[in-house]
Chain A
Amino acid sequence: MTRMKSRRRFIRNVSMAALASPLLLGRGARPAAAASGHEARYYEKLGEMKVKCTLCPHECRVADLERGTCGVRENRGGTYYTLVYGNPCSVHTDPIEKKPLFHYLPGTQAFSIATAGCNFSCRFCQNWEISQKRPEQVKSVELGPAAVVHAARKNNCRTVAHTYTEPVVFFEYMLDCAARGREAGIPSVMISNGYIQKQPMRELCRVLGAVKIDLKAFTEKFYGEQCGGRLKPVLDTLLTLKEEKIWFEIVVLIVPTLNDGPAEIESMSRWIFKELGPDVPLHFSRYYPTFMIKNIPPTPPNALHAARKIAMDNGLKFVYIGNLLSEAENTFCPSCGKVLIRRLMFSVTVEGMKSNRCKFCGTAIPGVFA
């Protein structure tokens, strides 16, 4: 309970930082006007003022004046609009390890933004107070793509992270921020559930620097009952990321009794090894009770270690444990076993690498390290 409250306080503070901190955003930042509109990039007009959203696999059919399941896209007279373009409700600077991305510019800061909304409704969502809200229900600021990049640079951030909620639902904003940042040498990273159609994902890959995907579980049952989505499209997104050769990492939040079965972890690990390769970093993260699941205690540490062992036994080389202090936060050389990057919470020391190789045995380490 203590943790839940502090988490909620954190989210509120994150949100308020956007509104209150001229240090973060400069003096020009101002509250966003209520629910303005920017035409959506992916949708079809169906006639008689109906539309079909083609951004994510929900493929919502949306009647006039209604919104898609994300709550941030609205049909106005047969034209589909995103209501969150340029209006983040959370703005903060974070270590990139917090995303978590462990093999992408380690030890750097990410200028982190989110708008309201999500296309999932995970019953264990840690950020539900913004992800499960509509844009008019949260405080937001006006912060266009150019201002995002400017603020990132001003705050010594190497990247812009689209995070906290679900960036797929603010696709157009993320796309423009990423394109603008790329020109300025500040790449964007997408911290996502991967519930997106192939074409928009490919378009994003042209401008993003890296992606982190939350693989919620490895069963359709879990996705259907706990998240309001499907597994298959997420696996398809992972395959697309591999095809596109963009750097990506995977996080699995282990929720006791719901997705922690050894057979499920084994199937997942085998699929990752076979379809994505042994070099994809896999993070098993500790769950804490929140939102709609408050009756299941936090993940026991031994369950996380057991999952990690299964994944490594199945050939994955970089398997981490998150939300729990342990040696398993460190990056070890898969050849000589020496520590390459030492992590304690968000304190990072790169101690065993030279360029992108192990300085002890010369093994190449996958990722983007400079």
Chain B
Amino acid sequence: MTLSRREFSKTLIGTAMGAVVGFGADPTSQTAAETGKSAVILARSEKLKRIDDDIGEESARRFLDDALIRLTGKPKADLAWKSLFSPAETVGIKLSCLPGRKLSSSRGLVAAIVSGLSRAGVGPGRIVIWERTNRELENAGFRLSRSAPRVIGTDDAEGGGYSEELEASGSVATCFSRIIERVDALINVPVLKDHDVTGVSIGMKNFYGAIHNPNKYHGQHGDPFIADLCRHRFIHGKLRLTVVDATRIQIQNGPAYYPKYAKDHGALLIGRDPVAVDQCGWNILEELRRRAGFPTLAEAGREPTYIRTAARLGLGEDRDERIERIVLENG
């Protein structure tokens, strides 16, 4: 029940409907854990389409649970969540909120993730939902909270924003958000977007929102800076899960919301390998761009080569034959 890259990308836009699995995990099917490949799951449904710029928590929860079963090989969702997170850990959920509520991480999706964590025994006091600034969170429709679970921007973090000490990671030298410094585990919840400089902004690029000087690392289309940043122990050592919000995709003129080139797709992209997730996200974006008549990102002079660099650095898998693409539909 796995798909080739082309089939996977086409599936997202509704042309390869036969090659998908239905909603509800089949415990007899082979799981990613068993194949040894990096699994990326595309959950796609009308129920994941935005209404009033949000999706329903219940739909998101059902797809997430099913995806985690397939990713972990556990027979039940609660066990799948428990296999990734322990009650003693503090978990940071990194959002993507720069463009405002039209193109930010959906609130319903975040609520579904919090629900999953709670079933893993992670109490609300150990969950931090965060972005760069309080203003970005509020603009994306999140209500700030200093009580459990906390919803805060780095600018409002205890001890003041970013660490005073410089951290080096390859070509990057930066001060990290005090939030990412302190959490034990990370769930990354980016939005799938075209990016005017780096080609795409998906999972790895979202961690530019965890450092004080992202403006210094957009040169050379972010290559090798994005990959180097994601090598750092605060990211590589803590990232457990990436859940890409592809319910609405900016296919051109990103990373801000530009309605003319935004497509409602009702999809999530879920995986544990950040490189494989970005590679699949890039494939999907290219397919959508092609269908809309845009040149490839390479032709546009902004191929996201940092994904290849990240693979070369051992952060994950970008080879098609080593990525298992699984599509979940309906629900």
Contact of A279 with B by CB under 8 A: no
Partner of A136, one of B155, B173, B255: B155
Roughly how many angstroms separate A132 CA and B212 CA in the complex, as a whole number? 9
Partner-binding segment picked from B161-169, B264-272, B303-311:
B161-169
Which stretch (A66-74, A209-217, A319-327, A344-352) binds chain B?
A66-74
Is the pair A292, B98 in contact by a Cβ cutoff of 8 Å? no
Given A69-B215, A121-B216, A136-B155, also A292-B197 (CB < 8 A) = no
Q: What count of chain B residues pass the 8 Å CB interface test? A: 24
Interface size class of A (residues with CB under 8 A): 20 to 34
Q: With A and B bound together, what is the CA distance between A63 and B213 in angstroms? A: 17
Partner of A291, one of B162, B173, B219, B253: B173
Contacts of A63 in B (CB 8 A): 195-197, 253-256
List, in ascending order, chain B residues with CB within 8 A of A70's CB.
215
A133: interface (CB < 8 Å):
yes
A241 to B216, CA, bound (A): 28
Any B CB within 8 A of the CB of A108 = no
Q: Mark A58-87, 1 if CB is under 8 A from B, else 0.
A: 000101111111110000000000000000
Out of A61, A64, A66, A132, name the residue touching B213 (CB < 8 Å): A132
> Residue of A at shortest CB range from B135?
A34
Contact with B215, one of A48, A64, A68, A129 (Cβ below 8 angstroms)? A68
Q: Hey, which chain B residues are within 8 Å of A133, CB to CB?
A: 212-213
Complex contacts, B218 vs chain A, CB 8 Å: 69
- Interfacial residues of chain A within 40-63, with CB under 8 A of chain B in the complex: 48-50, 61, 63
* Chain A: minimal CB distance from B198 (Å): 11
Question: For residue A136, which residues in chain B have a CB less than 8 angstroms away from its CB?
Answer: 133, 155
Contact assessment for A65 and B213 in the assembled complex, using a CB-CB cutoff below 8 Å: no
CB distance from B228 to the nearest CB of A (A): 13
Minimum CB distance partner of B218 in chain A: A69
Q: Are B197 and A61 in contact (CB under 8 A)?
A: yes
Contacting pair B173 A137 (CB below 8 A): no
Complex interface: chain A residues within 8 A of B219 (CB): 69, 228
Tell me the bound Cα distance from A249 to B147 in angstroms. Answer: 56
A25 to B212, CA, bound (A): 29
Interface presence of B99 (CB below 8 A): yes
User: Is B258 an interface residue when CB atoms closer than 8 A count as contact?
Assistant: yes
Give bound CA distance, A329 to B255, whole Å. Answer: 52
Assembled-state Cα–Cα distance A137/B255 (Å): 23
Chain B residues with CB below 8 A from A49, complex form: 253, 256, 258
A65 touches B215 (CB 8 A): no
* Chain B positions 192-234 with a Cβ under 8 Å from a chain A Cβ: 195-197, 212-213, 215-216, 218-219
Q: Which residues of A come within 8 Å of B, CB atoms?
A: 48-50, 61, 63-71, 121, 123, 128-129, 132-134, 136-137, 228, 291-292
- 5 closest A-B pairs by beta carbon, nearest first, are A64-B256, A63-B196, A71-B215, A65-B256, A292-B173
15 contacts between A and B (CB under 8 A): A48-B253, A61-B197, A63-B197, A63-B253, A64-B258, A65-B98, A65-B255, A65-B256, A67-B215, A69-B215, A121-B213, A133-B213, A136-B133, A137-B161, A137-B212
